[in-house]
Amino acid sequence: MLDTLDQQPPDALLALIKLYNDDPRVDKIDLGVGVYRTDDGGTPVFGAIKEAERKLVEEQDSKAYLGPEGDMGFVHALMPFIFGEDPTRGGRIEGMQTPGGTGAVRLAAALAHRAGAKRMIVGAPSWPNHAQIIKDLGIEIVSFTHATSDGLADLDTVKKAIEDSQPGDAILLHGCCHNPTGIDYTHEQWDEIAAALGNSELLPIIDLAYQGLGHGLEDDSYGLRAVLAKVPEALIAYSCDKNFGLYRDRVGALYVMAEANGQIDRILSNGHALARANWSMPPDHGAAAVRLVLRDEALTAMWHNELDGMRDRMRQVRDRLAEAGTVGSLDMTPLGTQNGLFSVLPLTKEQILKLREDHAVYMAGSGRINIAGLTMGNIEKFIDALADVTV
Ligand code: PMP
C-alpha cells in the first residue's frame, strides 16, 4: 500500500541549510533560515528563559499528563500582553496551548473547517505553511495580493477580498511582521480592515507569530485588537517561538473569541477534541518556562529587555540597508519601514544563484532574506554583493 505514495519535494529551506553548511568559505552569509541571530551570529537561549528553566528543574515535581489544553497558567499569563486591558473581553476569550504557532494555525484552520468554513481568504505571498495546512484540510484558498509594487501593504485588495466574501468564508491575516514581506498594515489601514470585517460575515483568523519584534508588544497587537473590537468572533494563533527564542520547544497557543461568554466552553471543547486526535497534548517544557517568566516581575523585565534588544538590532540593520538607497538596480529604502525578521528582495533566480555562487550569500529562492542574518560585520559585504549581481 505504501508503495502508492509519490516522492515529495524536500523542504527548500532545509536543502539550503545543507548547502550553506557544506560551503567552506569563511565569510559566507546565511539569510535563509527564520531564526533571530545576534550580532555575533548566534541564536542563544534568552537569559530570562534560562533562569526560568533552572527554577523549573527545582520546582517541577511531576511530569504526569495534563489535558489537551496544556498549561493553562501559561495560556492565561500571556493574555494581558496579547489582548491588553480586559484580556477576556468579558469572558468571551479563552485559549489553549498548542505545539508552536504551527499547531495553533493548524488548530485554528481545523476548527474553522469543523464550523463549516469552505474557503479561506489569504494574502499572497504568505508563510508557505499556511497554504499547506489549509489545503491539507480540504479548504479552498482564495487569494489576494498583499502588497503594492512600491513595497506598501495594499489596502484596496484586502478590502475587495472582504467585500467579495461569501457565507462560509474565513480570512487569515498576519498580526504583525508579515512573513515573508515584512510589510504590515498601518494603524489606519487596520482600522479600515477592522471596520470592513465588522460589516462582513467572515471569520477572522489572526496569526500573531512575532509580537514584540516589529515596534513593540503593544504596537504589534494593534491590528489584532482593532479587529477584535469590531467583530463578534475570531480565532487567534499565537507563537512564542520567536519572541521567547523557544523555536524547537514548540510553544504556542490558540485563542478563541466567542460572540457571547456562554459559548466559549462549547467552542473550545472542539479545539480540545481536535488536539486530542492530533497530538493529544502539547509539549510542556517551553510553555512552563514562559509561565514562570511571566509570573515573575524581575524575569518579565529581563524578557522585555532582551526583546527590546532584538528589535533594536533588527532596526539598525534595516536602517543601514535603507541608507544604502539604490544598490545596483534595487531600491533598498522600503526595507527601512518594513518590520520583523523578513523582507523580500525583488531578485531573479539567476541573481539569487549568483549571490550564492560568487559571494556565498544564501537566501530563499523567493528572494526572502532574514534581516537578523546580517550583522555589522557582514552587512557591507552583502550590500556590495547585491550591487554586483544587480548591475
Ligand atoms: N505563522 C507565521 C506567519 C510564521 O512565520 C511562523 C513561523 N515561521 C509560524 C506561524 C509558526 O511558528 P512556530 O515556529 O511557532 O510553529
pLDDT in tens, 360-388: 999 999 999 999 999 999 999 999 999 99
pLDDT at 179: 97
Per-residue confidence at 10, pLDDT binned at 50, 70, 90?
A: confident
Q: Who lines ligand 1 at CB under 6 A?
A: 34, 100-102, 105, 127, 174, 179, 207, 209, 239, 241, 252
Whether pLDDT at 14 is above 90: no
Give exposure, 260-293, as e/b (b: 16+ Cβ within 10 Å): eeeebeebbeebbebbeeebebbbbbbbbbbbbb
Residue closest by Cα to atom 1 of ligand 1 = 209
CA nearest neighbour of 342 among 213, 217, 248? 213
Q: Determine how many CB atoms are found less than 10 A away from the CB of residue 223.
A: 24
Supply the pLDDT for residue 149.
85
- Does residue 127 have an active-site annotation? yes
Residue 189: CB partners within 8 Å, gap ≥ 6? 153, 155
- One-letter amino acid for residue 345 of the chain: L
User: What pLDDT is recorded for position 55?
Assistant: 97
Instruction: Specify the ligand 1 atom closest to the Cα of 100.
Output: 15
The mean pLDDT of 30-43, rounded to a whole number, is 94
In the reported structure, the alpha carbon of residue 182 is separated from the centroid of ligand 1 by a whole-number distance in angstroms of: 14
User: Is the ipTM value over 0.90, yes or no?
Assistant: yes
303 counts as catalytic:
no
**Mean pLDDT of the chain, nearest integer:** 97
Weakest-pLDDT range from 13-27, 46-60, 234-248: 13-27
CA torsion, ordered 196, 197, 198, 201, to nearest 10 deg: 120
Domain ranges of the chain: 11-45+300-390, 65-295
- pTM here? 0.97
Q: Of 169, 190, 242, 249, which is the active-site residue?
A: 242
Domain at 11-45+300-390, CATH from 3.90.1150.10, 2.40.30.10, 3.30.420.10, 3.40.50.150: 3.90.1150.10
CATH class of the domain defined by 65-295: alpha beta
305, pLDDT greater than 90: yes
- Write down the pLDDT at residue 391: 86
